[in-house]
């Protein structure tokens, strides 16, 4: 148990945390000083008393996790990491928000040691914290001792609670009874526009009680005894997560900006900074100051933490010695190990019939699930439609964490953020599934998975107007290119079973990046490829499926997914008329862009006219086919009708495509 510190030293440490935040924001002339000032007392208690972590090994698997969901208060986190002994120097603090620094405006995972997740869009951190708590439960259920007792602490703001993603994720946490999660709500009554009563008047404690959380209210978030008592009660509570609403004051200690909206997103200013330091009993002219007594306090805490880590290490080594096979399983799990021959396994297990790619991917998922224990996930109440249920394994539920099938409910926002938290916890390859149209609901989470380079799998079915009768509200038009615009995200739209196998293999090989699958509801035919075709080429993002008969092609048709068979049909008709056509299937444009130039030129020869076929927006395709090329697709919303009727009406048949290609080639 952490020792009790002298109240005067605690007060000095809190003032130091405030001072570092004030000085960093002031020097940068940019940032948010008020929230770090208001949360300094709570952050001190968490880091000096409760949080179990190892600054020498930020990735220690047995650690507690701390998530600052209100990422605008980043200087609070950077101050705590510096004082706690992480590789965040005083010089890094002084370089706050500057080019090349470890201390960006919002915390970024992978950049700053000790930062568990990238928090910027409000509410996402709450969802990540839920995912982390869930992941710890999943791993403890599988391996036991190494993860036993690990907890997640999250600090959230008014903005975090107002954003819908946090509500969805919190509802999931309450349903799953994640009693290893403590969420502290910074109830400071201030947002950018002013007092929160302008737009926010609900009782957050009652809301979280309704979610199934243990809820408390602390009327003074600057009273350390009250903070400790509430956290102690939260940690003692079993069977449900804990929510603590803490009344704080933004800009706490600033003579004129205490409790003002100006303290939220503006530097205090020279005069207010001097007055604040004077009120603290500090030299107003001294900046980035850390008293020796404060460093000493945190060195004492580091020694306590080192002893806790050593004790854990002893237990861990004894556990490994007693459970050799399980320990090997843990090692493979944490590495997200995938068999080297997974693509061969998938090719060997290809479904033999023509089918919807959602069905083909679902069948191949069973092969992946048997070979890769790290694969855990589910859908937003759409498992029957997305075909993502892992067979012969249990579902995850309250107190039931050995399973692999998640039921996220109708909560795409929360599903995305929770999956990111699961991935960030290590070991798990999470997947979340819904219709492609609803990728819009979870776009912020998908973007963050790409920004954080996390191996999340986003499974999207019903990928075009050809889903049919559900109509334009459910029919994707712009979503494919909307996702492709996200840097570092692979978007894979397979044409048949072979490309589905390639899609799985590509995604499993991407340890440092997410992959989105776009899959059909309707059946698609198996593509006949040229003799000598190398299946490995499908892993390269685009390849020649059928080459031109008789030499250099007159034109290249690039198609994806359910439109590849249209290109093949058009090729047959046009070559019957004496034209030489190459068909290129491009399941993943991002992977193709990463290939060496020589390969790209072999597939898409420079100077040869190009056309594209995809049942979605066409303008972005012009960057591939060129200004003289032809992009066949859909630049309007769909309609409610059977898929074959829609194909006829919207020109997505072999005859219609052939006619457009014939006319284009006649002009070129």
Instruction: Tell me the pLDDT tens digit for each residue of 271-295.
Output: 999 999 999 999 999 999 999 999 9
* Secondary structure (H, E, C), 73-86: HHHHHHHHHHHHCC
Angle at alpha carbon of residue 475, lines to 469 and 478, rounded to 5°: 165
Paired strand residues for 603: none
For residues 101-123, average pLDDT: 97
* Residues forming the active site: 412
The dihedrals phi and psi of 221, each to the nearest 5 degrees, come to: -80, 10
Cα→Cα distances 244→157, 215, 247, Å: 12, 6, 10
C-alpha 617/C-alpha 560 separation (Å) is: 13
* Contact criterion met (CB below 8 Å) for 104 and 97: yes
Nearest C-alpha neighbor of 416 from the set 441, 397, 435: 441
* Contact criterion met (CB below 8 Å) for 216 and 237: no
pTM of the predicted structure, to 2 decimals = 0.98
Helix (H, G, I), strand (E, B) or coil at 28: helix
Cα→Cα distances 495→24, 432, 483, 572, 648, Å: 53, 21, 18, 18, 20
In the chain the first and final C-alpha atoms are separated, in Å, by: 79
Helices (H), 485-580: 497-509, 564-575
C-alpha 583/C-alpha 380 separation (Å) is: 36
Provide the pLDDT for residue 550. 84
Q: Is the pLDDT of residue 619 over 80?
A: yes
Nearest C-alpha neighbor of 545 from the set 535, 523, 364, 555: 535
* Contact criterion met (CB below 8 Å) for 428 and 376: yes
pLDDT tens readout for residues 130-139? 999 999 999 9
Cα→Cα distances 146→302, 321, 493, Å: 21, 13, 39
pLDDT tens readout for residues 152-184? 999 999 999 999 999 999 999 999 999 999 999
Give the rounded percent of residues in the chain with a pLDDT score beyond 90: 98
Mean confidence (pLDDT) of the chain = 97
C-alpha 258/C-alpha 250 separation (Å) is: 6
* Contact criterion met (CB below 8 Å) for 555 and 611: yes
Provide the pLDDT for residue 668. 61
C-alpha 460/C-alpha 386 separation (Å) is: 7
For residues 436-442, average pLDDT: 98
Provide the pLDDT for residue 4. 79
C-alpha 622/C-alpha 233 separation (Å) is: 61
* Contact criterion met (CB below 8 Å) for 262 and 255: no
pLDDT tens readout for residues 221-246? 999 999 999 999 999 999 999 999 99
The dihedrals phi and psi of 405, each to the nearest 5 degrees, come to: -95, 115
For residues 104-113, average pLDDT: 98
Structure tokens at 449: 């998975």
Provide the pLDDT for residue 5. 82
Residues whose CB falls within 8 Å of the CB of residue 158, separated by 6 or more in sequence, listed in order: 186, 187, 188, 189, 190, 191, 196, 200
pLDDT tens readout for residues 299-346? 999 999 999 999 999 999 999 999 999 999 999 999 999 999 999 999
656 burial type by CB count under 10 A (0-12 exposed, 13-18 middle, 19+ buried): middle
Cα→Cα distances 201→149, 218, 339, Å: 36, 18, 53
The dihedrals phi and psi of 606, each to the nearest 5 degrees, come to: -55, 140
Residue 395 carries which DSSP code? B
Q: Is the pLDDT of residue 3 over 90?
A: no
Domains along the sequence of the chain with CATH? 7-307 (3.40.50.970), 342-524 (3.40.50.970), 542-667 (3.40.50.920)
* Contact criterion met (CB below 8 Å) for 299 and 104: no
Provide the pLDDT for residue 1. 53
Structure tokens at 633: 């697709």
Provide the pLDDT for residue 489. 98
**Strands 581-585, 543-546: pairing kind:** antiparallel
């Amino acid at each position: 148990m952490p020792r009790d510190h002298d109240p005067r030293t605690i007060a000095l440490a809190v003032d130091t945390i405030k001072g570092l935040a004030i000085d960093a924001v002031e020097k940068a002339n940019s940032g948010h000083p008020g929230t770090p000032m208001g949360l300094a007392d709570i952050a001190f208690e968490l880091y000096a008393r409760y949080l179990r972590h190892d600054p020498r090994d930020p990735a220690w698997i047995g650690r507690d996790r701390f998530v600052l969901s209100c990422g605008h208060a980043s200087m609070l986190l950077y101050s705590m990491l510096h004082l706690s002994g992480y590789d965040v120097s005083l010089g890094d603090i002084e370089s706050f928000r500057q080019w090349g620094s470890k201390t960006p405006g919002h915390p970024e995972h992978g950049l700053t040691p000790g930062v568990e997740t990238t928090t910027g869009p409000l509410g996402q951190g709450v969802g990540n914290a839920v995912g982390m708590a869930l992941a710890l439960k999943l791993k403890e259920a599988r391996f036991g001792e190494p993860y036993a007792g690990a907890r997640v602490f999250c600090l959230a703001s008014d903005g975090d609670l107002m954003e819908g993603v946090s509500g969805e994720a919190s509802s999931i946490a309450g349903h799953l009874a994640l009693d290893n999660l403590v969420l502290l709500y910074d109830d400071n009554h201030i947002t950018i526009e002013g007092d929160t009563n302008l737009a926010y008047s609900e009782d957050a404690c009652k809301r979280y009680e309704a979610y199934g959380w243990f809820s408390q209210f602390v009327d003074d978030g600057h009273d350390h005894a009250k903070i400790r008592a509430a956290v102690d009660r939260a940690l003692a509570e079993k069977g449900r997560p804990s929510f603590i609403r803490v009344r704080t004051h933004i800009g706490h200690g600033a003579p004129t900006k205490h409790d003002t909206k100006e303290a939220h997103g503006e530097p205090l200013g020279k005069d207010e900074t001097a007055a604040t330091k004077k009120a603290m009993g500090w030299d107003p002219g001294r900046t980035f100051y850390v008293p020796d007594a404060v460093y000493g306090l945190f060195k004492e805490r580091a020694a306590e933490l080192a002893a806790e880590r050593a004790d854990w290490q002893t237990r861990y080594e004894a556990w490994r010695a007693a459970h050799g096979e399980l320990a090997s399983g843990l090692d493979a799990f944490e590495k997200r190990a995938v068999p080297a021959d997974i693509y061969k396994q998938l090719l060997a297990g290809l479904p033999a019939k023509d089918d919807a790619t959602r069905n083909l991917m679902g069948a191949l998922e069973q092969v992946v699930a048997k070979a890769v224990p790290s694969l855990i996930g589910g859908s937003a109440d759409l498992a029957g439609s997305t075909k993502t249920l892992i067979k012969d394994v249990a579902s995850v539920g309250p107190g039931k964490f050995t399973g692999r099938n998640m039921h996220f409910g109708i909560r795409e926002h929360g599903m995305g953020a929770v999956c990111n938290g699961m991935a960030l916890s290590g070991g798990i390859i999470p997947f979340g599934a819904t219709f492609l149209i609803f990728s819009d609901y979870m776009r912020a989470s998908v973007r963050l998975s790409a920004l954080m380079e996390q191996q999340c799998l986003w499974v999207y079915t019903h990928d075009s107007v050809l889903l049919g009768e559900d109509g334009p509200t459910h029919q994707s038009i712009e979503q494919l290119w909307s996702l492709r615009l996200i840097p570092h995200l692979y978007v894979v739209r397979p044409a048949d079973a072979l490309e589905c196998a390639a899609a799985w293999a590509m995604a499993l090989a991407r340890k440092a990046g997410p992959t989105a699958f776009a899959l059909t509801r309707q059946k698609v035919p198996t593509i006949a490829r040229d003799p000598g075709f190398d299946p490995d080429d499908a892993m390269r993002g685009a390849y020649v499926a059928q080459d031109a008969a008789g030499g250099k092609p007159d034109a290249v048709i690039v198609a994806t997914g359910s439109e590849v068979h249209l290109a093949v049909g058009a090729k047959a008709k046009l070559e019957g008329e004496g034209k030489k056509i190459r068909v290129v299937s491009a399941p993943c444009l991002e992977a193709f862009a990463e290939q060496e130039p020589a390969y790209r030129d072999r597939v898409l020869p420079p100077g040869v006219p190009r056309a594209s076929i995809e049942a979605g927006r066409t303008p972005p395709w012009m960057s591939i086919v060129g200004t003289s090329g032809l992009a066949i697709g859909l630049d309007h919303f769909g309609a409610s009708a059977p898929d074959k009727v829609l194909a006829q009406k919207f020109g997505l048949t072999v005859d219609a495509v052939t006619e457009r290609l014939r006319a284009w080639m006649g002009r070129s």
